[in-house]
Amino acid sequence: MQRLAELSIVRWARVHPRLAAWIVLSVGMIVILLIEASNVGLLPGQVIALMAACVLVAGACVWIISWEDADDVEAPADPLKSPTPEANATAVEKDAEPA
């Protein structure tokens, strides 16, 4: 397992996880496309257009999945607590004001 972590491509993928996921997903989608479209009779331009569409869709998928990563980073640990004591004092003052 240690030898696998020492490979340069694995180190690169750990530094750039979204780009690595995009590449792996794109390659997988293109392989499936080529296997399934091999006997359909598509023109070369059509195959290239479908391959480009696969790469774009894979990028969109990785981008959408990364939205959850951003939510985890921005969300506070406890939603009832404010991140700073000053924010808590401001919230208490707002609650004390009559409506």
Of 66, 63, 36, 68, which is closest to residue 50 (Cα–Cα)?
36
Answer whether 0.75 is exceeded by the pTM: no
> What pLDDT sits at residue 8?
85
Taking only the tens of pLDDT, the chain with its 99 residues reads 667 667 788 888 889 999 999 999 999 999 999 999 999 999 999 999 999 999 999 999 999 999 987 666 665 555 565 556 565 555 555 555 565
> What pLDDT sits at residue 90?
57
> What pLDDT sits at residue 96?
59
| H helical segments located in the chain | 2-5, 8-15, 17-36, 44-74, 85-96
> What pLDDT sits at residue 29?
97
| Angle subtended by helix axes 17-36 and 44-74, to nearest 10 | 150
> What pLDDT sits at residue 72?
64
Give, in order, the Cα–Cα distances in Å from 50 to each of 22, 46, 89: 16, 6, 57
> What pLDDT sits at residue 10?
85
> What pLDDT sits at residue 23?
96
